[in-house]
Amino acid sequence: MAGIEKALERQRTLMASDEYQSHMKRALIEAKRAGAFGEVPVGAVIVSPEGKLLAVSGNRTREFKDPTAHAEMVAIRTACEVLSSERLVGCDLYVTLEPCAMCAAAISFARLRRLYYGTADLKGGAVEHGPRFYSQPTCHHAPELYPGLFEQEAADLLRRFFQQRR
Amino acid sequence: MAGIEKALERQRTLMASDEYQSHMKRALIEAKRAGAFGEVPVGAVIVSPEGKLLAVSGNRTREFKDPTAHAEMVAIRTACEVLSSERLVGCDLYVTLEPCAMCAAAISFARLRRLYYGTADLKGGAVEHGPRFYSQPTCHHAPELYPGLFEQEAADLLRRFFQQRR
């Protein structure tokens, strides 16, 4: 219970923080932009330990014709290029949707400090669902998790996108 | 039991096939080359439905300073570029080591038909170990699996590499 209380306290502090809100809002803008280009509307942002924006990306699987070009993957690769390092120690990732197994593992390999995400992904998520990657004995680094923030906005974007495609 | 018998039969047929052997040998050469450049020695090859070599890569995480540049990922991205498609339907991937969660999911997203791999990865594998990605309800496409082929050669490469680094 002490762990849950601590997590809830952290979340309350964060929700009141302008910095947090601006990064997740930026991820939502990227998600919207991706949707406008026919990509599944998911957006991601990576921030340095000093609060500097290192990378911003939406899903780009269609544009790049690359099944690995999820928003988180493109953002991680960009941030690594910016820092000229294969580790993003102390950096935080904001993404509008619960990461899949590919992205959850890449976040772990990059040693990202915190993972903020919007809405849960029942069908493809790998944090709270399916493989629950960060709880596996084969996971050697897990970020601090901040799920469910701006959840409604992120979920609405996805729902509208898939409704229009039906 | 019928399933296992069928898998063993498939494996026996394959082991006798020159084509299969040459692709896995090529993956082993790429693994060796990666090791010579200080990368963890893992190699991967992707072959088209017609048996044409589409992509060949070793691990390149250090060279590219990119934690996502596992051999399988680089090979998938290259093959998608070659075919100008985000799906590799009917294509097969040969890799010297059991894929991790990131690569297992990318293989699924790319709709690869068959996954041949060398040695099991107890610490980081996600096919037989940890997340067992292809058995999860959140996995929407699983390749046909051919594990344990050229197992000894692939394992020897890794063992020698890590012994030299101690």
ipTM, two decimals: 0.91
Q: What is the pLDDT of residue B2?
A: 58
Q: With the C-alpha atoms ordered A132, A103, A149, A33, is the resulting torsion angle positive or negative?
A: negative
Contacts of B130 in chain A (CB under 8 A): 131, 136-139
Residue B29 touches chain A, beta carbons under 8 Å: no
Helix count and strand count (H, E) for chain B: 6, 5
Q: Which two tokens stand for residue B55?
A: 């992509």
Residue A136 touches chain B, beta carbons under 8 Å: yes
Nearest residue in A to B102, CA atom:
A102
Whether B98 is catalytic: no
List, for residues B84-102, the tens digit of each pLDDT value: 999 999 999 999 999 999 9
List, for residues A78-119, the tens digit of each pLDDT value: 999 999 999 999 999 999 999 999 999 999 999 999 999 999
DSSP states along A5-22: HHHHHHHHHHHT-HHHHH
A91 closest CA partner among A149, A60, A48:
A48
A53 closest CA partner among A61, A44, A62:
A44
Cβ(B132)–Cβ(B145) under 8 Å?
Answer: no
Q: Which two tokens stand for residue B129?
A: 């170990």
d(CA A102, CA A124): 10
Cβ within 8 Å, pair A106-B133: no
Residue A107 touches chain B, beta carbons under 8 Å: no
Q: What is the pLDDT of residue B56?
A: 98
User: What is the H or E stretch that residue B122 is in?
Assistant: none
d(CA B148, CA B63): 28
Q: In this structure, what are the phi and psi dihedrals at residue A93, rounded to the nearest 5 degrees? A: -115, 130
Cβ(B98)–Cβ(B121) under 8 Å?
Answer: yes
**Closest Cα in chain A, distance from residue B118 (Å):** 19
Q: Is B111 helix (H, G, I), strand (E, B) or coil?
A: coil
Question: Nearest CB to A101: which of B61, B85, B101?
Answer: B101
Q: What's the average model confidence in pLDDT over B35-60?
A: 97
Strand order in the sheet with A144-146: A53-58, A43-47, A92-97, A114-119, A144-146
Cβ(B115)–Cβ(B146) under 8 Å?
Answer: yes
Give yes or no for residue B57 having a pLDDT over 80. yes
Residue segments in chain A with a per-residue pLDDT below the cut of 70? 1-4, 8, 10-16
Nearest residue in A to B112, CA atom:
A67
Give the pLDDT band of residue B15 (cuts 50, 70, 90). low
Q: Which residue has the tokens 């494996």?
A: B11
d(CA B49, CA B88): 9
Q: In this structure, what are the phi and psi dihedrals at residue A157, rounded to the nearest 5 degrees? A: -55, -45
Nearest residue in B to A100, CA atom:
B105
Q: Which of B19, B50, B63, B72 is catalytic?
A: B72
List, for residues B128-163, the tens digit of each pLDDT value: 999 999 999 999 999 999 999 899 999 999 999 999
Q: Which two tokens stand for residue B41?
A: 């020695």
Residue type, B105: A
Question: How many other C-beta atoms can be found within 10 angstroms of the C-beta atom of residue A133?
Answer: 28
Looking at every residue in chain B, the average pLDDT score rounds to: 93
Question: How many other C-beta atoms can be found within 10 angstroms of the C-beta atom of residue B114?
Answer: 18
Cα B157 to the center of its chain, rounded Å: 15
Question: How many other C-beta atoms can be found within 10 angstroms of the C-beta atom of residue A142?
Answer: 16
Question: How many other C-beta atoms can be found within 10 angstroms of the C-beta atom of residue A60?
Answer: 18
d(CA A117, CA A111): 17
Question: Nearest CB to B110: which of A67, A100, A124?
Answer: A67
**Closest Cα in chain A, distance from residue B55 (Å):** 14
Share of chain B above pLDDT 90, in %: 86
Q: What's the average model confidence in pLDDT over B117-125?
A: 97
